[in-house]
Amino acid sequence: MPFLRNVTAGRNVPDERLAIVAEQYALFGGQAPINEISRQLVEALKTELEAYDSDLPVYWGTRNWTPRLVDTVQQMADDGITRALVFTNSPFASYSGCRQYLEDLDSARQAVGDGAPVLDKLRLYFNHPGFIEPMAQNTMAAIVEHGTGHPSNTVRLIFTAHSLPEPMAEACDYEAQLQEAMDLVVDRLGPNRPTDFELVYQSRSGPPHQPWLGPDILDHLDQLGTQDAESVQPVTLVPIGFTSDHIEVQYGLDTQATAKARQLGIPLTRAKTVGSHHMFIKMIRELIEEHTEDGTPLALGSMGPQQPHRGETHCLRS
């Protein structure tokens, strides 16, 4: 509950509503899986940097729980760090997925005051090969789980991402970037790749009267379930909008969507997120090298490498 109160601070969400959300965490031992996931990511990155003779220290800070970002920035200042690069688990542009991080970083620096390090956020990476390639590998592995009775091209892919309020989505390239990432993954599934795929959304949290991006994954499965039993396709869920199997993936897809599919008689598998995949860890190192060693910015598709984060309107449409 203290964590959920931090997440929803300033939104006047009653504890009664938070208690309902807290029940989701009870299914996973009463704590957020992302804490251990983040520790694994940090250790994997340290190992990757050491393998390339880099002595860059790695710190970890979070928005809403320990280690709090402001405490991490204070620790960096105490350690004599004057400048740092910031990697976030958010590949796509949006206010909450990009701009808000910049605001949080600025707030943490202001709270620490004199001696706070300069913090440069690494660029967005939704089309970086280190994100796309492992997502394609994980997607194919999940397709294969359907077994030999379901050839790859008969499986329907449903890509999911966190829903946003429509005004927020209209102010950035979130939807276009998701579409690009989805197309890049599908293109890498080989000549017998699925021909049916779409992008849907999950984890909506706003009031009913506020328009959010849709369709919702559960509503979409309901629609698929209205087909004749003989025409129902096996489905593979691909959480393209997420980088780790945290609570929204484990609860929204592995719990809710899986139960819905079982109820509707839809065969369902779910692709893993990139997590600490070695290609994803390599990508982080390559993003660092773009800043420190004039490394070549890498990107797939037509949208090209994203620009470094500068200015008050970065990640937002002008």
pLDDT, tens digit (0-9, with 9 covering 90-100), for 136-179 = 999 999 999 999 888 899 999 999 999 999 999 999 999 999 99
As assigned by CATH, the class of the 2-125+279-292 domain is: alpha beta
In the chain, list all ranges with CATH 3.40.50.1400.
Answer: 2-125+279-292, 129-270
Among 45, 46, 56, which residue's Cα sits nearest to residue 89? 45
Strand duo 118-121 + 156-162: pairing: unpaired
Compute the distance between CA of residue 310 and CA of residue 318 in angstroms, rounded to an integer.
13
DSSP state of 89: S
In this prediction, residues 281-304 reach a mean pLDDT of 94
The answer on pLDDT for 13 being more than 60 is yes
Single-letter amino acid, residue 318: S
Residue 279 Cα to chain centre, angstroms: 16
Higher pLDDT, 245 or 314: 245
pLDDT value of position 190 = 93
In the chain, the percentage of residues whose pLDDT exceeds 70 is: 97
∠ at Cα 133 (131, 137), nearest 5°?
120
Higher pLDDT, 204 or 22: 204
Enter the pTM of the model.
0.92
> Which helix (DSSP H) or strand (DSSP E) does residue 162 occupy?
strand 156-162
The answer on pLDDT for 208 being more than 90 is no
Cβ atoms of 250 and 239 within 8 Å: the answer is: no
As assigned by CATH, the class of the 129-270 domain is: alpha beta
Q: Indicate the average pLDDT of the chain.
A: 92
The answer on pLDDT for 96 being more than 60 is yes
Strand duo 83-86 + 268-270: pairing: unpaired
pLDDT value of position 229 = 62
